[in-house]
Structure 1
Amino acid sequence: MNELNKRNLEYLQAYFFKVLSLDENTSSLQYMMNKIVKFLVKEYSLQSVSFIIWDEFTNRYTVESTTNEIERESVSHLVFEAFSFLRQQNQQSFTVEGNDVSICLRTDEKKYYLHIVQSEESQIDAEFWEQLSTECGKMLELLLTYKRAVSQEMKYEQLYQITTKFHLSLEMEDILEETVYTLQKVYPDFTYLLLLSYDNKNDRKLPIEYLQYDNKNISEKAMEAYVCGEVEVEYDLVNQSAILYAPLKGKQGNYGVLQVVTEDKELFSKDIVKFITVLAHTAGSALEKAQLYAQSRRLIDDLRLINETSHQLNSNLRLTDTICYMSHQIRESFHAQEVGFVLFSEHSDKYQLLKGSTLFFSESSAHFYIEYVYNRLQEEKEAIFVNESPFSFSNEEMYYHSIIAVPMVQNGVVKGAAIVLHSDPYSFTFDTFKLLQSLIHHSTLAFTNSMLREELEKLVVTDHLTGLYARNYLDDKVEKSMIQDPCGTFLLIDIDDFKKVNDTYGHQIGDQIIIQIANIIIQNIRVKDVGARWGGEELAVYLPSVPIELGVTIAERLVKKVEAETKPSATISCGVSCWSRDKVDTLEELVLRADQALYCAKDLGKNRVVVEREKENTSYSEK
């Protein structure tokens, strides 16, 4: 080696050492090569120097740093051929064509190139170019090694930080957000998409899609990575990009796939694939932990809901109170819009809507849903879970897409159903469906007990033959009314010539006449009025807060309707008495006065109303 080449080489080595040891931006390849190419041009009186990388994926050379702005746009045909020749040679490291020098810088990672255009002032021989190739290759290898070390340190620092955050977080959205943030920080030139296998509310607008086999946006490689749990890579030749699919893997399964797309010229190195794979597995484990935690919280909440509901239902609530409580619980816990409880008839397709159901079930359009539920339950005997309603209405407010119907079964017989509706499709999850099944299963016994208890209470205070209240119930109501109300009217009714009816038609027809008259009474009094069987063929009606004049009008209407509507035709006599708060009175005296008025009605010819007032009988109706 001549003295000039030796001095040039020593000077070059000294500059490399200075740059590598003192410059703060050593990890930036482009920055360092910008300094190198400028140094070579200046110190060796060169016309231009370009640092060029061969991209195997795109099959082209890319100018990374140059002092020739024209060459920055593209590599000339002559240079392309020279580099192609060098790329195929293992020994030769440079070529010289006139003033153009093409040098190959071999490293462990890939091949890089220098394209040098000499000036007329340049006095450089082939020996120097060979030494330059060797020294630049060493420098580049050191630079790349340092760059990899810095990059690895940064990556694993990020991995450490994200792992620490994952351990502190049990929120799925926090984990997903931190995963995307870390990737964007480490590889800002890549684009990312989270392909999840579970529903996520995604309030933070993260890049998320859901893994569904019918989703045309999801590639086969993505599904393969999800199913097999292995990293997959595919190349998009149309868009000149590479796509990596890393499964979000936990111990119990895969929770999705992390999709990473390179830019135009990037390839996935082993280090990149390794880092993304580790990060995806770390995120998958964190998602699994968060999901298990969320499931445990849901189970605790579900058990608490069932326990609270069971405790409330076992506190001897009235049936209406029970239904109201259940409707409220279901609306609050399942975000349902409509909740209905219906009982089915054993002998027909009619149903009874229980009080406490939401108002929609009292509307005519609810019949379609109830009928649909009834038919399916009769056929399948299984709970119904529908995410798309089979009905459509012109009024969209009445169009409920999501339907859950859970049968209320007792001794193997479907007694009724709880029906839950929501206007949005897929509003209820399968977990919601299973929880509602469990809730209704635990509640059915309470419903049945409430109905049986109220039926028993009704039997105690109701006359078996007529369906009217028993005398002791009427007595209790009158006494309470005398304390609470301003006035009241009492009617005592007797069927005229009832013995003759029994003798003529028989006791069975006699019973039918009593039933007919009882039904007429029920149809012609208010809900809060009390109709009762007094004893034998005697009946009674108490009208709370009704003055005597109106009470007489009601009594006369009953007399007329009984004569007109009974078959065989029968008549009644009615004695009327009243009380008011301005006078001291008792139940016994009220009944006694009505009884005296009734006897007077009988004496006056029957089939009439007589009112007793201050021990003076006055006939208000005579036939």
Structure 2
Amino acid sequence: MKKHTVDQNCGEIESSYFYRERLAHIFRDSFQFIFSPFFLADRGWVFVADRHGYVVACEKAGQPEFDVKPFYPLHPEKMYIQNNVEEDSRTVCVPVLQDVWFPGYIGVVLPACIEERCAFSFLQGMTAVFRLIQEQYISKTISSCIKAVSQNMGLNSAMQTIVRRFAESLYQVECIAVVFDEEQDGMVPHWSSSEQNWLCRETMKMRNLRKIYEQIVSQFSVERNVLRREDIDIQGLLELEELSEADWLISPFDYNDKIIGFLVVLRDKNFPFTDEEQKFIFRFTKALGPSVHNSALYMRVQRDEQKRSMMFEITKKLHSSINVNDVLHAVIENTKKLYPEMQVDLWLSHDSFSTKLPVKPFSFSTGESKSNVSARAFMEARTIIVKSWGKRSVTLAAPLRGKQGVYGVLELYSDKPISLPAREIEYITMLADTAGNAFENAQLYQQSCHLIKELLLIDEMTRQLNKNIKLNDLLTFITRKLTETFRTEHCCIFSWSEEEKAYVACASTGQENVPLVLRIPEAGKLHDLFVKKESILIADTKEIDSLLPSFSCRSLMAVPLMGKGQVEGAIFLIDSQPNRYTFDDFKRLEMLARHVKVAVTNASLHAEVERMVITDNLTGLYNRKYLYDCIRHSQQRDICGSLILIDVDYFKNINDTYGHQIGDEILIQVAEVLVASIRTSDVAARWGGEEMAVYLPAVQEDIAHQVAERLRMNTMSSTRPAVTISCGVATWLKENGIPSVERLFQQADEALYRAKHSGRNQVCLAGKV
């Protein structure tokens, strides 16, 4: 037995080669069940023709002397019988057109001796088998698709398999699948069997997808399970001009009598869909409905699992960090990963902390806070979601809640229609709560670190005072430590100056060479600080005049230093970044200011006691001990030095003539002349009674003689009543050997003795008569 296939060019007819090939395949599968040894004769033909009568396949038995014609004029409602007397053959053909996927005709060509009724009975049996094989073919096509979908439950893979398998089952069609995600309240992006995708995803995203879905669903009924061109204006609904050039069908994917998506099938309008194709499309989508539902459910499970995994990772990351900036950075970045289709903003109260992250401050002005979703979420400590049709389609604000309060708000928004179901809102709320707890823990850790730094700073100030530190060194130390403690750029300490009648910077970082003077204004922040004794905290000075022109100032804290009920000074912390200081920083600085004031006062008292120990109470000059110490230090450092010993001439007569009070005033005047007539590196001291001394480090004898003459002349011209002085000068040279301090004073005293006994009001040098 051998096969023979008849292929013929059918032109533009509906029975294309695509369907004829499948009809031939069904025929061959059917033929193996009913042919030899059950054939009617020992020779003959069995053939199958399409609905137009063109033979697409045939099989022969034995060696027939007659052949199968390529075409028979068949009738769709009648059995075809043709007797060929010349070939002694008879052709019998019956239609198989109803309820089959590939309609056509089954026929036989037999010897003329075979009766028509026998041939008809044979063909009826073969028709039943032909129908069963077609049903088997359809079931196999659908079941193989279901099996392929079941092997990979991912929605993308499943839907791509469906559209590809379906497109292979029909002639020249494009298949597009759309699934409605009820949880997301929108259509999942479509899948297409064609690379030339006419359905624009961006267009679909811009539309109100729920409205489109509901309008399409409303067109289906018990009588209408597939939508055709004449059933709905899908072109106007989707606003796509491409649909005008195609014939299309829409068949639903349903599960439990609920439509969960659509299969859109398109073909050139010159090849309209047949009723059999329409039935197959509906059967295909109905059978695949549960699979689509399972894939969509699996997608949601995967999405939930992904979110749970990311939530777990986010939670680990948040709780593993003790840095506030790291925590908030993790919140922003991971929220963007979870919801890439939405914009993310972080709102923080100014009291929470300082950061360089892009955060937004709250506005609690009347009216604005009512319309601001994030401000409401912050004040009400609950998640709020608002939908609108303006610039934002949806806005969700979730508060960052901790055990001690609300620290900020995580805001998500989109200008596209996005649905946030209850589970998504729960996810975001959990994320915000996790972030709030982690932020609170990090902030508590930072607060404990700040407290430790404060205690260390106070302890360090105490230890520095115990080291007899100078006031200027203490102030420099305090400004440096405050800068480190508050992580700020600049720190300035101002004190009241009676001479300037203003507050002058006695210590400053970054502006050491620039004199800083703050006058008391009649109004404003500085007036509140220095007059009303109110501390200042400014988050951003951009909107007001700069209080300190010498600095790039955006954030500012200032605390007064009080003494005896008056503002004796102030501490300023300055930074070029806005929102640099928190309210906790502000309260911390106020507390530290009290310790700074105590430290400065103690250092000032210590300096005053030291000054009193080394100075003469009447003249304000250094005392003899200090002078001795300075000379010894100079002898260790310098190569030479000179000592001028001074005595006021006839001082006893002044006391007797004018009284001791005038005598004291004369001593004070002479002391002032000495200080004004020497260098700052020189040391003027009261030796005792009316005797004074001046030590000139690194000065040789000739220069010392000139200085002594200058002192003598200035004293005579500057005192009232006018007095004169006698001077004795002694000089030491390292190359001649360093004398003791006592020996140096003895030499100067001898020179002074000669000056007094030589007529007074003159200068004598030691060793010269």
| TM-score normalised per structure 1 | 0.79
Distance 1:65 1:351 in 2: 75
Corresponding residue number in structure 2 for 1:87: 218
| C-alpha contact (below 8 Å) 1:57/1:265 kept by paired residues | no
Corresponding residue number in structure 1 for 2:760: 606
Spell out, residue by residue over 1:251-271, the C-alpha distance to the aligned partner (whole angstroms, 9 max, x if none). 333343333345746433344
Distance 1:374 1:516 in 2: 42
Distance 2:453 2:418 in 1: 49
Distance 1:161 1:583 in 2: 81
Cα deviation for residue 562 of structure 1 reads 1.2
Task: Supply the AA of the counterpart residue of 1:333.
Answer: T
| C-alpha contact (below 8 Å) 1:103/1:129 kept by paired residues | yes
For residue 766 of structure 2, give the secondary structure of its aligned residue in structure 1.
strand
Corresponding residue number in structure 1 for 2:601: 448
Matches within 5 A, 1:430-445: 430-445=583-598
Spell out, residue by residue over 1:235-288, the C-alpha distance to the aligned partner (whole angstroms, 9 max, x if none). 353568434333333333334333334574643334433333333333333333
Spell out, residue by residue over 1:185-224, the C-alpha distance to the aligned partner (whole angstroms, 9 max, x if none). 5554444444444556467xxxx43243289999722332
Cα deviation for residue 569 of structure 1 reads 1.8
Q: Describe the shift of the 1:143–1:259 C-alpha distance in structure 2 as closer, same or farther (beyond 3 A).
A: same
Segments of structure 2 that go 5 or more residues without pairing to the other structure are: 1-97, 102-130, 205-210, 231-246
Cα deviation for residue 517 of structure 1 reads 0.8
For residue 124 of structure 1, give the secondary structure of its aligned residue in structure 2.
helix
Spell out, residue by residue over 1:321-376, the C-alpha distance to the aligned partner (whole angstroms, 9 max, x if none). 3223223323433455554444435798366765x655836634x11378899865
Cα deviation for residue 523 of structure 1 reads 0.8
Spell out, residue by residue over 1:589-618, the C-alpha distance to the aligned partner (whole angstroms, 9 max, x if none). 4334433433433333322222231xx43x
Q: Describe the shift of the 1:530–1:290 C-alpha distance in structure 2 as closer, same or farther (beyond 3 A).
A: closer
Matched, 1:520 2:673: yes
Corresponding residue number in structure 2 for 1:620: none
For residue 592 of structure 2, give the secondary structure of its aligned residue in structure 1.
helix
For residue 463 of structure 1, give the secondary structure of its aligned residue in structure 2.
coil
Cα deviation for residue 442 of structure 1 reads 2.0
Cα deviation for residue 554 of structure 1 reads 1.0
| C-alpha contact (below 8 Å) 2:755/2:763 kept by paired residues | yes
Task: Supply the AA of the counterpart residue of 2:158.
Answer: M
Matches within 5 A, 1:80-479: 84=215, 86-87=217-218, 94=225, 102-107=250-255, 111-115=260-264, 122-124=274-276, 134-176=286-328, 178-179=330-331, 182-183=334-335, 186-197=338-349, 198=352, 201=355, 208-213=358-363, 220-238=372-390, 241-261=393-413, 264=416, 266-344=418-496, 349=501, 354=506, 357=508, 360=511, 363-364=514-515, 366-368=516-518, 376-386=528-538, 388=541, 400=553, 402-422=555-575, 426-479=579-632
Q: Describe the shift of the 1:106–1:410 C-alpha distance in structure 2 as closer, same or farther (beyond 3 A).
A: same
Distance 1:312 1:239 in 2: 61
| C-alpha contact (below 8 Å) 1:474/1:532 kept by paired residues | yes
| C-alpha contact (below 8 Å) 2:558/2:573 kept by paired residues | yes
| C-alpha contact (below 8 Å) 1:86/1:94 kept by paired residues | no
Taking only aligned residues, the RMSD between alpha carbons, in angstroms, comes to: 4.5
Task: Supply the AA of the counterpart residue of 2:262.
Answer: Y
Corresponding residue number in structure 1 for 2:162: 36
For residue 380 of structure 1, give the secondary structure of its aligned residue in structure 2.
coil
Matched, 1:529 2:682: yes
| C-alpha contact (below 8 Å) 2:712/2:761 kept by paired residues | yes
Distance 1:569 1:520 in 2: 12
| C-alpha contact (below 8 Å) 1:93/1:130 kept by paired residues | no
For residue 602 of structure 2, give the secondary structure of its aligned residue in structure 1.
helix
Distance 2:559 2:144 in 1: 80
For residue 540 of structure 1, give the secondary structure of its aligned residue in structure 2.
strand
Q: How many residues align?
A: 603
Distance 1:532 1:380 in 2: 45
| C-alpha contact (below 8 Å) 1:94/1:133 kept by paired residues | no
Spell out, residue by residue over 1:40-65, the C-alpha distance to the aligned partner (whole angstroms, 9 max, x if none). 45546696655456799999999834
For residue 170 of structure 1, give the secondary structure of its aligned residue in structure 2.
coil
Corresponding residue number in structure 1 for 2:702: 549
Distance 1:48 1:583 in 2: 115
Q: Describe the shift of the 1:243–1:14 C-alpha distance in structure 2 as closer, same or farther (beyond 3 A).
A: farther
Matches within 5 A, 1:572-591: 572-581=725-734, 582-583=736-737, 585-591=739-745
Task: Supply the AA of the counterpart residue of 1:144.
Answer: A
Segments of structure 1 that go 5 or more residues without pairing to the other structure are: 618-623
Corresponding residue number in structure 1 for 2:57: none
Query: Which deviates more from structure 2 when the two are superposed, residues 529-538 or residues 561-570?
Result: 529-538
Query: Which deviates more from structure 2 when the two are superposed, residues 603-612 or residues 328-337?
Result: 328-337
Query: Which deviates more from structure 2 when the two are superposed, residues 34-43 or residues 6-15?
Result: 6-15
Distance 1:270 1:30 in 2: 24
| TM-score normalised per structure 2 | 0.66
Q: Describe the shift of the 1:449–1:116 C-alpha distance in structure 2 as closer, same or farther (beyond 3 A).
A: closer
Q: Describe the shift of the 1:361–1:45 C-alpha distance in structure 2 as closer, same or farther (beyond 3 A).
A: closer
Spell out, residue by residue over 1:290-344, the C-alpha distance to the aligned partner (whole angstroms, 9 max, x if none). 3333333333333333333333333332323322322332343345555444443
Spell out, residue by residue over 1:103-150, the C-alpha distance to the aligned partner (whole angstroms, 9 max, x if none). 444447865334557966834399877766653443433332333333
Q: Describe the shift of the 1:592–1:87 C-alpha distance in structure 2 as closer, same or farther (beyond 3 A).
A: same
Distance 1:231 1:462 in 2: 73
Match of 1:72 among 199, 206, 218: 199
Distance 1:384 1:240 in 2: 38
Corresponding residue number in structure 2 for 1:621: none
Task: Supply the AA of the counterpart residue of 1:367.
Answer: V
Cα deviation for residue 378 of structure 1 reads 4.2
Q: Describe the shift of the 1:91–1:295 C-alpha distance in structure 2 as closer, same or farther (beyond 3 A).
A: farther
Query: Which deviates more from structure 2 when the two are superposed, residues 47-56 or residues 238-247?
Result: 47-56
Spell out, residue by residue over 1:155-183, the C-alpha distance to the aligned partner (whole angstroms, 9 max, x if none). 33333333334343334455455555555
Distance 1:504 1:72 in 2: 121
Task: Supply the AA of the counterpart residue of 2:748.
Answer: A
Matched, 1:488 2:641: yes
Distance 2:396 2:501 in 1: 59
Distance 1:175 1:391 in 2: 35
Match of 1:594 among 742, 745, 748: 748
Q: Describe the shift of the 1:35–1:247 C-alpha distance in structure 2 as closer, same or farther (beyond 3 A).
A: same
| C-alpha contact (below 8 Å) 1:462/1:469 kept by paired residues | yes
Cα deviation for residue 518 of structure 1 reads 0.8
